[in-house]
Amino acid sequence: MAKTVTAKAHTNIALVKYWGKKDAQLMLPQNGSISLTLDHFYTETSVTFDTQLNHDQVYFNDQLLQPAQSQRISRFLDLVRQRSGLHAPAAVKTTNHVPTSAGLASSASGFAALAAASSRAAGMDLDATALSRLARRGSGSATRSIFGGFVEWHAGHDDQSSFAEVIQDPVDWDIQMIAVVLKATKKPISSTDGMARVVATSPYYPAWVETAETDLTRMRAAIAAKDLAAVGTIAETNAMRMHALNLSAAPAFNYFTADTLTAIQAVTDLRAHGINCYYTLDAGPNVKIICAGHDTTVIKTALQQYFAPEQLIVAKPGPGITMTEA
């Protein structure tokens, strides 16, 4: 009987964002990125290659996906089969502890877990760097979810040189995030398509690549100095520049809802009142608040003026990938 490998990967939130590819096939990004892996949101995936199956069978949160829905997963598994010399279809079971398609980067933890579980189940024994490269082929942000704490994905120039590594783990200072989970709306455009449109049509794109470089340098220094205000300020500016790119694309798009703007304003107001907090946003309406753990209660209380308590989820820095075999 073939072995089943289960992997657990946590999601990560980029503080300096990846937004654009220079090679869509190899998934090479236009710029490097830096993220924080979170403890609260994760994906657990088990994979068994099974010659008895006719085709890949993918269960997502206990629901069998139609082949059209699992195409991206099967394409990824093809890569693993090709590298390991296996031909068997795979049984994949994924449980997502992340609100899907809501901008909490479920593809990051999803493809990191799939890369780890499928490669090990196929008999490959990849180290963390090789796993990071492999996860990248599934989804760019997954490159970083192999690792815990603060992580940098080096853009690189080919398959070998584009991987993530730890900048700081464990994180031994007080930084947390509050995810403001807003009404789940279907994305106006996927991150893959959104970033491609931006690269192709935004006249501001060259400026993004240039400023991302500066942001990376400043963010590395801010993390090394354990400076919450610097980390938050750089992350907030970087996120808004990313969203400004979307507004400058042709046709323009954005991921904001009215609630997004309410949350942004609430964070800005709290800061004006002396609370050290900042926001970042990804390809969805949710707002992630960067703050110290000792301020989470006062921030949550203030936000409850607009949002229900269960919409405010506090997350701490989280660990890298783990695997078990059966």
Binding positions for ligand DP6, rule: CB under 6 A: 14, 17-19, 27, 33, 105, 107, 139-141, 191-192, 282-283
Nearest distance from residue 27's CB to ligand DP6, in Å? Answer: 6
For residue 187, the SS3 value is coil
CB of 59 to ligand DP6, least distance (A): 21
Q: Which of residues 152 and 295 has its CB atom nearest to ligand DP6 in the complex?
A: 152
Smallest distance from ligand DP6 to CB 123, Å: 26
Cβ distance to ligand DP6 smaller for residue 34 or 122: 34
Question: Which of residues 31 and 176 has its CB atom nearest to ligand DP6 in the complex?
Answer: 31
**Residue number with CB closer to ligand DP6 (14 or 303):** 14
Q: Do the beta carbons of residue 192 and residue 128 sit within 8 Å?
A: no
- Identify which of residues 31 and 119 has a Cβ nearer to ligand DP6 in the complex: 31
Pairing of strands 21-23, 28-29: antiparallel
Least distance CB 43 / ligand DP6 (angstroms):
13
Distances (CA, A) of 106 to 22, 52, 136, 217: 22, 30, 14, 27
Report the residue number whose CB is nearest to ligand DP6. Answer: 140
* Closer by beta carbon to ligand DP6, 271 or else 288: 288
For every residue of 89-139, DSSP letters joined together read -EEEEEEEES-TTTTS-HHHHHHHHHHHHHHHHTT----HHHHHHHHHHH-
Q: How far apart are CA 14 and CA 222, in angstroms?
A: 15
- How is residue 47 written in tokens? 């994979």
Q: Which two tokens mark 230?
A: 């610097």
Residue (105 or 264) nearer to ligand DP6, CB = 105
- Beta carbon of residue 76, minimum distance to ligand DP6 (angstroms, whole number): 11
Residue with tokens 């209380």: 301
Nearest Cα neighbor of 252 from 204, 202, 207 is: 202
How many CB atoms lie under 10 A from the CB of residue 148?
A: 23
Minimum Å gap between C-beta 283 and ligand DP6 is 5
- Least distance in Å: CB of 125 to ligand DP6? 25
Please report which residue ranges of the chain form alpha helices under DSSP H.
71-84, 106-121, 128-138, 191-201, 205-224, 228-247, 258-272, 296-303
